[in-house]
Amino acid sequence: MVKIGVLGLQGAVREHVRSIEEAGAEAVVIKRKEQLDEIDGLILPGGESTTMRRLIDKYDFMDALKDFAAKGKPMFGTCAGLILLAKNIVGYDEPHLGLMDITVERNSFGRQRESFEADIPIRGIGESFTAVFIRAPHIVEVGENVEVLAKYEDRIVAARDGQFLGCSFHPELTDDQRFIKYFIQMVEEAKSKQLA
């Protein structure tokens, strides 16, 4: 069984833990950078990206997260986590982790009160997945090796760049574990390659 970490600094941590466990993997809340050595994949949850960045810096996680990625271990950013993964953020000079070859725009779907749900098709997952958007970003453009997995009203809302997966919405806020299972499968494949 693979171990999936959830970065436990801020955001929808408990909901991700529940999703991972319901999808059949072991979940670990990551509060210290040393714990990254114990896990096979990591979820960067939704929350507030600037607050999360402050906490990443405060607890000295930045280099440890980059090292984790350099080992080929999969990472999944949801909502604010997507912003943390992106190489470019509209209106900002510097990215956060800068790992995923995408450009994102923050709060593209309006403020908190404009939160909504929409059924969207996700490539490799299903024709209809209920996506919960809360102050969501969207992907403005992708690099040539990035696979677009889902769009909503012509905006890219889910993509995969090798070992990195990102989405604008909150899969952990539904009882549909297919997207989390997709990530778990990525982690299993990466782990079996590392063991090979």
| 167 in active site | no
What integer is the mean pLDDT of 106-131? 85
Q: How far are the Cα atoms of 36, 112, 119 from residue 41, in angstroms, in the given order?
A: 9, 29, 27
At residue 196, the pLDDT reads 73
Q: What is the CATH number of the domain that holds 31?
A: 3.40.50.880
| 153 in active site | no
| 172 in active site | yes
Return all residues near 93 (Cβ < 8 A) that are at least 6 apart: none
Q: 3-state DSSP helix/strand/coil percent for the chain, to nearest 5?
A: 35, 35, 35
The continuous run of DSSP H or E covering 49 comes out as helix 49-58
Q: Which of 96, 105, 138, 172 is catalytic?
A: 172
Residue 178 banded pLDDT, cuts 50, 70, 90? very high
Q: Which of 11-20, 162-171, 180-189 has the lowest mean pLDDT?
A: 11-20
Judged against a pLDDT cut of 90, whether residue 10 lies above it is answered with no
Domain that holds residue 130: 3-195
Which tokens in the block code for residue 123? 């490539």
At residue 113, the pLDDT reads 62
At residue 49, the pLDDT reads 82
Q: Which of 15, 16, 79, 167 is catalytic?
A: 79
Classify residue 104 as left (phi > 0), alpha (psi -120 to 50) or beta. beta
C-alpha 57/C-alpha 69 separation (Å) is: 17
Total of domains in the chain: 1
* CA pseudo-torsion sign 102, 52, 117, 90: negative
Judged against a pLDDT cut of 70, whether residue 121 lies above it is answered with yes
Which pTM value belongs to this model?
Answer: 0.94
